[in-house]
Amino acid sequence: MQKSTHYLKILFLSIIGLVYLNGYGQSANGLYTIFTDNTPYISKADLTTGILTHLNPLTIGLGSYDGMSLTTNPHDGLIYASNGSQIATYDINPGTFIDSISIFPLSLNDKFKQMEYNVCDSGLYGMLRIQSPLDFRLAKLNPLTGQLTIVSPQTVGGLACGGCGYTIDPYNHTYYSMFNNLIGIDLYTGNEIINVTPVCPPGYVFNHVEFNCNDSMLYGLSANITTMSKYLATIDPLTGIVTHVSAANNLNSYFWKQAYAGQTLNPAGGEFYFVSGTTNVIGADVLTGAVSTLQPLSITGSQGVLNITYYPQCLCDETTGTNDLVSVKNNLTFFPNPANNVLHITLKKSANILVTNLLGQTRLEKYCSTASGESAMIDISSFSPGIYFIRVGVEVRKFVKE
């Protein structure tokens, strides 16, 4: 009976979800947190006053701090929270609790962590930590039933702390997890396709990775482990090169709480957010790296913020599948994907096209003009079967050569 009620609630919200996309849910926009005061809550943070407005009490239990995940579904106006063994669903506007169900199948001490919503297939993905024998797999969670499906056929990456950074690039169907290395996992095959060591300026480490759906870049924090000076930075997923956004260490005075609170990004406003300690929300402008938000939260004593996420994220504007047109977010359109011999590429503006393999090696470079209004044909018949990347400016797109 409980499952039937859960289905009906989600079905109703899915039907009215289009209302949110047409502006009715504007008041729901903002930064959401998992807030703890012995009992954890889902809360919305006012970034001008620091006041936290609680949604209904979170009923799934606290668990370990780094087991808590928080993500939003902009299609249906939902927010999901998980402690690794249960998932709770909320209606983000007006902020009411819908249901909490157990995640299965899970053996004793197994945990589903680092949960993230993918706007391009409406799936919930995360890392399954199998306790015995120790193993890590990408998995997909059905929020209606709680059923967990393992995607990865073998061990991938390794589970970092909850706040070290995990994000999804929906346009390239890639799940990223960040700790010592940046790990990229194909959402459909579950295979590890990227494993790069961040190439930072001397003395610096990179963490807190987050995908920006407006410019298709990966952002994070670069910190000097001796002086603790900090910068907003980007990381190239193909080479691992870390680039500081600003020449000044604008984030120097803010504590980087690595283990728990994580990071998020407001794509429309162009702000990267992280929590300094467990009390201050810091926003950095993605264009300049300068501090754009500094807001102490109205919390005291043992209270604190465990996880943050911003609502809404970009919606997906692409379709995928054999011979389907892949219309990506900004400049680049190409088809088919997967491809055998030829890729047809169209650009909104003339640019240089670079095709690289998984090792970052250039396989093809060509200038594509938009003057004719026709697509350019790229011959890939000599490529070995596998995964490749098309780079146009800052945009990077993945395709499969069969």
CATH number at residue 334: 2.60.40.3080
Domain boundary pick from 311, 345, 371: 311
Q: Given this model, what pLDDT does residue 233 score?
A: 94
SS3 category, 256:
coil
331 shares its domain with 307: no
269 shares its domain with 125: yes
Domain boundary pick from 287, 311, 335: 311
287 shares its domain with 338: no
Fill in the DSSP letter of residue 66: G
187 shares its domain with 137: yes
169 shares its domain with 279: yes
240 shares its domain with 369: no
Per-residue pLDDT tens, the chain, 402 aa: give them.
444 454 444 444 444 343 433 333 447 889 998 877 777 788 899 999 999 888 876 666 655 555 688 999 988 889 999 988 999 999 888 788 888 899 999 988 899 989 999 988 889 999 998 988 889 999 999 999 999 999 999 988 765 554 468 999 988 889 999 878 999 999 999 999 999 999 999 999 898 899 998 888 999 999 888 887 889 999 999 899 999 998 777 676 665 544 456 789 998 889 999 887 767 888 999 989 988 998 888 877 667 777 899 998 887 754 333 333 333 344 677 888 888 999 888 877 777 788 888 777 888 888 877 655 567 788 999 999 888 888 776 567 788 888
Does residue 82 sit within a domain?
A: yes
Does residue 230 sit within a domain?
A: yes
Distance CA 124, CA 170 (A): 12
362 shares its domain with 271: no
Distance CA 266, CA 389 (A): 26
Q: Given this model, what pLDDT does residue 356 score?
A: 82
Distance CA 187, CA 171 (A): 11
Does residue 75 sit within a domain?
A: yes
Which residues, in sequence order, are bridge partners of residue 97? Answer: 90
234 shares its domain with 370: no
Per the structure, the count of domains in the chain is 2
Q: CATH number for the domain including 270?
A: 2.130.10.10
Distance CA 365, CA 374 (A): 18
CA atoms within 13 A on the CB side of 81: 31
62 shares its domain with 172: yes
Domain boundary pick from 266, 284, 311: 311
Q: Given this model, what pLDDT does residue 253 score?
A: 61
What pTM value is reported for the model? 0.77
Neighbours of 85 (CB within 10 A): 18
395 shares its domain with 301: no
Does residue 89 sit within a domain?
A: yes
Does residue 320 sit within a domain?
A: no
Distance CA 145, CA 106 (A): 14
Does residue 46 sit within a domain?
A: yes
Does residue 316 sit within a domain?
A: no
SS3 category, 278:
coil
Does residue 317 sit within a domain?
A: no
Q: Given this model, what pLDDT does residue 268 score?
A: 85
- Domain limits for position 380: 326-401
83 shares its domain with 119: yes
Residues 6+ apart with CB under 8 A from 73: 79, 80, 117, 122
301 shares its domain with 359: no
Q: Which string of b and e fits 121-136 if b means at least 16 CB within 10 Å?
A: eebbbbbbbbeeeebb
Triad 40, 230, 160: Cα angle to 5°: 50
